[in-house]
Amino acid sequence: MPKRLSRSFFDRSVHEVAPDLIGVTVLVSGVGGRLVEVEAYHHTDPAAHSFRGRTERNAVMFGPPGYLYVYLSYGIHWCMNFVCERDGSASAVLIRAIEPTTGLPTMRRRRGLKDVRLLCSGPGRVCNALGVTRANNGAALDAPPFELFAREGEVDVVTGPRIGLTKAADLPWRYGERGSRFLSKPFVSTATLLYR
């Protein structure tokens, strides 16, 4: 049985936590899979929601690490982040793609799809498949309905520019599993390979 991650896993620099999350299993009420793509955001980063200070929406980012920040994107899609570092750091990792492993019938029903590669290949799709909404904003990651399990074995982690940004779009703070078929977009050949 894999080791469960505690909230202390997230009490580190967001740029250490983000690559370490690749290969970690995330379940919500027993539905989910392996993380294959994430992005790092810190409040010193112009692209981060926390960049302009604390507001009602981003308040969870300013709290302790190991909690969930959920927001509505483009008025349509829920996106989820894992809060990192100490209180006030306002850093978080955006969950962009998961390799589905558990609860596939549930995910297919929620998404209205058969193709497993489209179930969780994007931040909005991840929340749709796992049933995450604003109701989960502020939830602890080491308590029900969330379960996080450490990765088993080695994972090749690549890094490259983040997606969908107009600010700080050149910063290489997107991390993913090399060659995964479940990414929201492939990493370009110039992406850096990190061995884990």
Nearer to DNA, 34 or 162 (CB): 162
Q: What character string, x for contact with DNA (CB under 7 A) and - otherwise, covers 144-163?
A: ------------------xx
Distance between CA atoms of residues 126 and 130, nearest Å: 6
Size of the site for DNA (CB under 7 A): 38
**Which residues share a beta bridge with 25?**
34, 149
Type and span of the H or E element at 109: helix 104-111
Nearer to DNA, 3 or 167 (CB): 167
**Among residues 67, 84, 68, which one has the least CA distance to residue 12?**
84
Q: Name the phi and psi angles at 36, rounded to 5.
A: -120, -10
User: Do residues 136 and 70 make contact, with C-beta atoms less than 8 angstroms apart?
Assistant: yes
**Selected range binding DNA among 4-12, 51-59, 139-147, 152-160, rule: CB under 7 A:** 51-59
Write out the two tokens for 107: 């995910």
**Selected range binding DNA among 4-12, 98-106, 118-126, 139-147, rule: CB under 7 A:** 118-126
Binding site for DNA (CB under 7 A): 39, 41, 47-50, 52, 55-58, 61, 69, 72-77, 79, 81, 92, 94, 111, 118, 122-126, 128, 162-167, 184
